[in-house]
Structure 1
């Protein structure tokens, strides 16, 4: 099937809600970050070249796979700076889970299966990326074209459930029964035949997406000794925008009521950099 765009999807953190840091000492991560890296289809073959350019520049050639979290701070920033020079667009959703501690959404679990929270955060990222793709393709090509979606396969996730959830959302939109429809996915650019999931190490595009996901995770996970917002800030040139704004397009903070999350000054810094305004 023909397609004009490719979206590589990776994540950082986890979707566990039973126990969550910092509420629980041994809980799951405070944040789940889902990032999508979009390219034009004609650049699909360039992902390996781009990845190798980054690896060679930062002297990370001992392994054929680039793992952002294992790099030194200076190499992390340089990797992000180089990524931002390529013809890509980045979409990142950062979901703080403190208010979800021990929560189970029955409506969402019926729609999205056991991994309903993961599917929900992916949905938010897909809403932004599919609409961006539709707008961009119409402006440049005069029509809405298809986008291939490639997930970085992680153990414990059923990507079949994710696709089934998208189908449910499409049906709800067609019948006017979309729940929480402030944003909606643009299903014109999607096809289930163009959704795949492969291990991170098997595709250079997914390793590039890992740079984005890990950079934003490192910018919000302030409990880590390696916390730094600098790599995520360095991605500014390639962040997706609408009318010049990254806020709520290329970077989305969840929950939506941002002043009720209880973020620290350090956690707020990356969101303020990209245009979010906090009241206090």
Structure 2
């Protein structure tokens, strides 16, 4: 079956790792405390402009020699310049941030029945895909667009099987077609397993933009690898962070796991970025 014509492209990158066997700071040595997966969504027509957008960011941040953004290597001031420039572009931003302490040594036996070695990564991708496809479908309906599908472009990372990711994508489509009355399900109307690809991030400008987003939100919550939590870059992206139909960033453009928010065992500094985007960490009355 040939890939259908698509209207949108979602570029996806990550920060942190999906390891759950050992998780810092519970364990002295182990996986990252956070796993962040982010998407930058743009229209097919705008994708042709993305290479110039990256060139402009590289020029602003002094990386014009190779025309590839290396966000982690930038000074804090240049990171802020990069985020502010991205915030002025015609894209939409989605991020899922999972604090892994509550997932340490967790096994999802139901998910493991599906032949895959990456159920945790797939689960976070599903949360992201649910929001991305909802936003795309809303745009299709609002503007009566002829094309409706979204192409998913993943940044290649060691340890992931993207053939499994494409197969999981198709499974989500099938499951969502027979699922009713759930708050979040992927929108099968805009999905196709033939529109799932993976590439090195330096080969596509859109993947470099997704790296800016994932790294910005990661640095807002991480203090073990990147220094003190610094939410400035993620806050600067606010104009492009997607809003739900209820006009909220919370649980849409930015998703925190675990949920509800009060269950998250995180510091005041880590909570700051989520509170900025509408999360409330107040304990319910029956827990006080």
TM norm structure 1: 0.95
Q: Of residues 244, 247, 253 in structure 1, which corresponds to 2:256?
A: 253
Post-superposition offset of 1:114: 1.1
Q: Please tell me whether residue 140 in structure 1 is matched to residue 140 in structure 2.
A: no
Q: Is the 8 A contact 1:144 1:189 kept in 2?
A: no
Q: Is the 8 A contact 2:153 2:196 kept in 1?
A: yes
Alignment gaps of 5+ in structure 2: 284-288
TM norm structure 2: 0.92
Aligned mates of 1:147, 1:100 — CA distance in 2: 30
Task: Give 1:198's aligned residue.
Answer: 199
Q: Is the 8 A contact 2:38 2:96 kept in 1?
A: yes
Q: Is the 8 A contact 1:147 1:190 kept in 2?
A: yes
Q: Please tell me whether residue 166 in structure 1 is matched to residue 169 in structure 2.
A: yes
Post-superposition offset of 1:181: 4.2
Aligned mates of 1:128, 1:119 — CA distance in 2: 14
Q: SS in structure 1 opposite 2:184?
A: coil
Q: Please tell me whether residue 12 in structure 1 is matched to residue 21 in structure 2.
A: no
Task: Give 1:231's aligned residue.
Answer: 233
Aligned mates of 1:210, 1:98 — CA distance in 2: 24
Residues 149-205 of structure 1 show CA distances to partners (whole Å, capped at 9, x for unaligned) of: 1100111101111222222233333344x8x94310001111122211100111111
How many residues are paired up? 278
Aligned mates of 1:203, 1:170 — CA distance in 2: 26
Task: Give 1:217's aligned residue.
Answer: 218
Q: SS in structure 2 opposite 1:36?
A: strand
Alignment gaps of 5+ in structure 1: none
Post-superposition offset of 1:225: 1.5
Aligned mates of 1:59, 1:110 — CA distance in 2: 48
Pairing 1:85-104 to 2, within 5 Å after superposition: 85-104=88-107
Q: Please tell me whether residue 154 in structure 1 is matched to residue 157 in structure 2.
A: yes
Post-superposition offset of 1:274: 0.4
Post-superposition offset of 1:141: 2.6
Q: Is the 8 A contact 1:112 1:164 kept in 2?
A: no
Q: Is the 8 A contact 1:112 1:165 kept in 2?
A: no
Q: 1:174 to 1:2 in 2, by over 3 A?
A: closer
Aligned mates of 1:236, 1:38 — CA distance in 2: 14
CA RMSD across the alignment? 1.6
Q: 1:220 to 1:170 in 2, by over 3 A?
A: same
Post-superposition offset of 1:143: 5.6
Indicate the larger mover: 158-167 or 68-77: 158-167
Q: 1:129 to 1:170 in 2, by over 3 A?
A: same
Aligned mates of 1:112, 1:274 — CA distance in 2: 36
Q: SS in structure 2 opposite 1:4?
A: strand
Pairing 1:76-87 to 2, within 5 Å after superposition: 76-87=79-90
Q: Of residues 115, 119, 122 in structure 1, which corresponds to 2:118?
A: 115
Aligned mates of 1:181, 1:18 — CA distance in 2: 31
Q: SS in structure 2 opposite 1:35?
A: strand
Aligned mates of 2:42, 2:35 — CA distance in 1: 23
Q: Is the 8 A contact 2:229 2:269 kept in 1?
A: no
Aligned mates of 2:37, 2:167 — CA distance in 1: 19
Q: SS in structure 2 opposite 1:253?
A: strand
Q: SS in structure 2 opposite 1:114?
A: coil
